[in-house]
Structure 1
Amino acid sequence: MMDGLWTLPEKVIVRQFYLQNTGLFMVGLMVGFGFLSSNEHIALATYALHDWFFLSGYFALWLLYTVYVLRFSIQVLQTTDLLQLFRLLPTTQRLFLLYLLYLQLLLPVIAYAGFVGWVGSQRGTTTANTVVALVVLLLTVIPLPFAERALHRPNPEPFTSGLGAWIRQRLTTPYVFFYIRYLFREQAATLFLTKTGSCLVTIGLLAIYPTDDYDIRLLSLGALLSGVFHAGLVYELYHFEATQLFLLRNLPVALSKRWVTYIGISGLLLSPEVILLLFRHPNDVSTWEALGVGAFALSLLLLQYTLLLFRHQDRDRFMARLFWPTIVYFFLIMYQLPIWALAFMSCIAATTLFMRYFYRSSW
């Protein structure tokens, strides 16, 4: 009976999660193992086990991933009618199934924590090993009460702020900020996780860059990873306009002005990363090169959006189909194609798709 009960959440939640985030995991693996050797990974783990502040950085990243997993699973639990029937199971059996579910979703964290524990066993850091084990155990338990709440309250009432309503009634919002405001109001968790993950990657790569003989390719791969991070926000923009602003295309606005607006929206989404690159770039990376990395990341967001105009896809298929383009960009970067050339080609492709398919596309 347990096998039958496990089949549905495993297919609907676990498989879909890894399928939708294939590109993100692949880029993370390529960045992690394309530039760092096994000895360097062991050295980082050793340093973390001897420095509590550095180790807390690991814990923060693992917690961020756990929150990302939790958000995805809760969204599926609240929107899948069959999963709502799990509330009818005995509490012990239901919690056991949910715990198995989150063990599978947290496998990347568990695997890396196992690696850190193995390094610690070689170095004799018993206290740090115990803390790592306890943190991982805590991370596997944290999602359970939230999942239980999602099962018993599938349609929670959204929080409304009186101050926010007062401001919206008295201040007009330029169109370029419409989507940003929508993200803060309706997709705050998605926005927070995306920007936190992307900014942490950018900060981490900027910190790692001076430690070895790296070149601009490291920052370019970081821009590629940021682009993959933002794929969910790009799809939300496409969905937002198609479902809530469906009269937008009937307005008498020039196509070129519309395109500039989308460039502005994408630029606003990437502004924290671009600011970090411009003001914290390594000494041997020029401002022009850092700006090129930012332009490359911007072009990726624009290309993702116009690919949705070219062919409508649901979210799952869209995320899965980013895998091969991500691999292609990875090899183009590794073969040292100039970053400005990559940004220019991507922008040309995105502009062409936009001009040709904006009015033809349909939800």
Structure 2
Amino acid sequence: MAALPQFLKRYYFPIVTFSLGLFFQLFVLPRSYPPSHYDVLGIEQFAPIEDVAAAYDRLSSKWFSGLETPATTEFVKIRYAFELLSNPLWKRDYDLFNIDDQLHVTELLTEQYAELKFSNIPLPLLNASSSGLTNQAFNVLTSENFISIMSETKTILIQVYSDGSARCAKFISSWKSIAILLDGVADTGMVELGDVQLTSYLAEKKPTKQPFFRNGLPSLVAYPPDCKSSKCYVRYQGDLSVDPVVDWMATSVLGLPRILYYTKETLVPNFIAKSGQHKVKVIFFSKTGERATPFLRQAAKDYWAYASFAMVLWREEDSSIWWNLFHVESAPAFVFLKDSGVDPVVYHGMLLTLKC
């Protein structure tokens, strides 16, 4: 018997540590995660749509029979779970990658209908119409053609999207503009979430190796020049609008130089006077004030030994100054300056695909 206290003393710390770890995994950790939509309906994870409908029918029958009266918050959560999991595309996205880009609706509707009886809340809560992105998608990449396309391209920006995502549908017009602006310096491609093999390859990985998209969809992934594997691709984490995405591609992925803007006060002393005498000065007058397009920045990189580039925001009140200096009438316009005393060459309009 004397050996028992000695045994407990020797293994006291390992036993306590194991017990605490087991308690944490069984009771604390599960409660730290929010319930899934399947939990809300009281059914197993990944249950088929038939079970989703049956679970909702069981719950709603109690409400409409008067046996139970759900609070607004409870009703919205249950109804939302039912609508999401009974839509094949939304269910697919949620089951595969936990994509749930309409979740904010529950909080908004709970506040909006806080004073209403559940039976007076307008249904459905979600707009179930398909985004129809399949008909608008272009340069679609699949598991079958991905390797061959990657072998033929140097730089590519890939959008992972879902045909059932309202966010992706809203982004498609911006994506078309991005593709146009990158034309000539980088390729673009689109991957639908249903191509599980390819989307899993492009997704981030949790410690458990489960693929996921941290910021939901659409998700943008860029392969820099000569990158051919997931070890070197770059993921975009910023604002999903045209100018930030294009600037990120040009600066971070392609490594293209920025072209600075100058004013009527700074153009001559800070640009023309400081550029090498042997260099051609290329001045682009922009009517929008947006950043230089990747095509123009690529030209600045390719011809840096022979030319210097600058941008000027066109203002009508300064038009007489630019006319007297360079004979520029309006924007967009390009001015090419060579030697002092030689008249500048002026081109009004866009060159190739340059759009600013």
Using the size of structure 1 for normalisation, the TM-score is: 0.23
- More strand per residue: 2
